[in-house]
Amino acid sequence: MQMSSGRDFIALSCRKGVLRFGAFVTKAGRTSPYFFNAGLFDDGASFDALCGFYARAIRDSGLAFDMLFGPAYKGIPLVAGTAMRLAGEGVNVPFAFNRKEAKDHGEGGTLIGAPLRGRVLILDDVISAGTSVRESVAIIRAQGAEPAGVAIALDRMERGQGDVSAVQEVGQAYGIPVVAVATLDDLVAYLSDDAASEADLAAVQAYRDVYGTHETHVAR
């Protein structure tokens, strides 16, 4: 499936019900006009397409990395699926992920997969409070490796606790780029092309006027 643009990803997300419109309360207590749940990419075809979008965004970014890391739990299938899609495109890299709790038998420990070495690209679905990225960076550095960046599905381009977004906070805190498959700009462009989505577009734009930020990403 050769979809590559953020707008195509938004279209897929809407078809799968991953992206829905209405009134949803966020963790920050805001009433958002849209909700994104990557866990609803729950069949083989749509999940394969999702990982293909990640692989394409990562390759298009030009970001240098040696391996992939997926934080438990949503990052686990993402990192495996994206590694497979990258390999299918001629980029074969190792991957690893973590357990939430250490295993005290068998191979033991909290890490599964390849040893964390070199420049490690973190894969996650979204960045909200940045907790998952913070924990991943700590795990990577504890193994003597370095975080190369973070790849996510959707950047809401929305202010966090201060004047910048959670995505920008991650970039500033760790000095690493964030690669987004799609952004709020892509969502607005998708809605703008559909006359039936006029009300949703107005709601998203109104929400953005209040909570939005302007930010710069690694090129997709």
Helix (H, G, I), strand (E, B) or coil at 160: coil
Predicted local confidence at residue 103, as pLDDT: 56
Structural contact between residues 216 and 207, judged by C-beta atoms closer than 8 angstroms: no
Q: pLDDT by residue (tens digit) across 108-147?
A: 578 999 999 999 999 999 887 678 899 999 999 999 999 9
Q: Measured between alpha carbons, how far is 156 from 161 in angstroms, rounded to an integer?
A: 14
- What structural domains and CATH numbers belong to the chain? 6-211 (3.40.50.2020)
Spatial distance between the Cα atoms of 11 and 200, rounded to a whole number of angstroms? 14
- Residue at 72: amino acid letter: A
The active-site residue, picked from 16, 74, 100, 103, is 103
Which of residues 31 and 105 earns the better pLDDT score? 31
Rounded (5°) CA angle 92-108-79: 30
Place of tokens 């990052």: 75
Q: What is the pLDDT of residue 116?
A: 98
> Is pLDDT at 90 greater than 60 in this prediction?
yes
Residue 154 has φ and ψ, to the nearest 5°, of -135, 130
pLDDT at 218: 47
On whether the CB atoms of residues 200 and 34 are closer than 8 A, the answer is yes
Q: pTM for the whole thing?
A: 0.90
- Residue pLDDT, tens place only, 169-218: 888 889 999 999 999 999 999 999 988 999 999 999 999 999 998 655 44
Query: Percentage of residues in the chain with pLDDT exceeding 90?
Result: 74
Task: For strands 31-36 and 19-25, give the pairing.
Answer: antiparallel
Q: Is the pLDDT of residue 105 over 70?
A: no
Q: Identify whether the C-beta of residue 115 lies closer than 8 Å to the C-beta of residue 97.
A: no
Per-residue pLDDT at 2: 44
Is 103 one of the catalytic residues?
Answer: yes
Among the residues of the chain, which ranges form H helices?
6-16, 44-61, 75-88, 131-142, 166-174, 184-192, 198-211
pLDDT tens figures, 10-53: 999 999 999 999 999 987 789 999 999 999 999 999 999 999 99
Ramachandran assignment for 175, one of left (phi > 0), alpha (psi -120 to 50 degrees), beta (any other):
left
Catalytic-role residue among 27, 100, 105, 214: 105
β-pairing, 146-155 with 95-103? Answer: unpaired
